């Protein structure tokens, strides 16, 4: 098996300093339910918030067939940011139509893969508790130092490792 993605490797693609984090085995609810599964996070957050989400691409890098992007997912209704992510995609593992849709940056990755019937397997590899730095504080409209929860994982297209991903949820209030 290939090495799992690491927080440091993914964050260093876009950050001068990696946010403080620690690996965790468990997390409080609703974060456990929202992160500890093998589904696409696009579908998971849409089901939880009962709204479709849009992707906001903050930054990208294309080096050879490796396409990396830093993103936010926002609910379509309230425009609330519900998730931050960094995805590293091996474009060679996907067909031309899927590559074009991903590179356009208009649709969340999970939705692109699902709508194009890309046989995928989502494999969470590690769960993390992140201390919000100024970037997270701004994106999520929270105080720096707030605890956040996320996961690192791999998405396989068929039997090929296609995507490495870091997904960090915004804090969730009892009123959602």
Listed by start position, the domains of the chain span 7-142+162-169
Q: How confident is the model over 16-26, as pLDDT tens digits? A: 889 999 999 99
pTM summary value: 0.94
Query: What is residue 171's three-state secondary structure?
Result: coil
What is the pLDDT, as a whole number, of residue 2? 55
Burial class (CB in 10 A: 0-12, 13-18, 19+), 85: buried
Task: Read off the pLDDT of each residue in 147-176 and give the average, rounded to a whole number.
Answer: 89
Assign 121 a pLDDT band (cuts: 50, 70, 90). Answer: confident
Least confident of 22-26, 51-55, 71-75, 153-157: 153-157
- According to CATH, the superfamily of the domain at 7-142+162-169 is Chorismate lyase-like (3.40.1410.10)
Instruction: Count CB atoms within 10 A of the CB of residue 62.
Output: 12
Rounded Cα distance, 105 and 57, in Å: 6
Q: Is the pLDDT of residue 143 over 80?
A: yes
């Amino acid at each position: 098996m290939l090495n799992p993605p690491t927080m440091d490797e993914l964050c260093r693609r876009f950050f001068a300093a990696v946010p403080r984090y620690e690996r965790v085995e468990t997390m409080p609810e609703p974060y456990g339910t929202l992160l500890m599964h093998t589904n696409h996070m696009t579908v998971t957050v849409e089901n939880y918030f009962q709204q479709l989400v849009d992707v906001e691409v903050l930054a990208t890098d294309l080096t050879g067939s490796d396409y990396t992007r830093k993103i936010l997912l926002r609910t379509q209704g309230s425009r609330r940011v519900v998730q931050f992510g960094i995805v590293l995609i091996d474009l060679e593992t996907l067909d031309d139509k899927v590559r074009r849709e991903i590179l356009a940056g208009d649709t969340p990755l999970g939705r692109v893969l699902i709508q194009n019937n890309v046989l995928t397997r989502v494999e969470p590899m590690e769960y993390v508790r992140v201390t919000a730095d100024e970037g997270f504080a701004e994106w999520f409209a929270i105080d720096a130092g707030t605890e956040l929860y996320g996961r690192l994982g791999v998405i396989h297209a068929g039997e090929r490792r296609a995507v490495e991903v870091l997904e960090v949820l915004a804090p969730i209030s009892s009123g959602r």
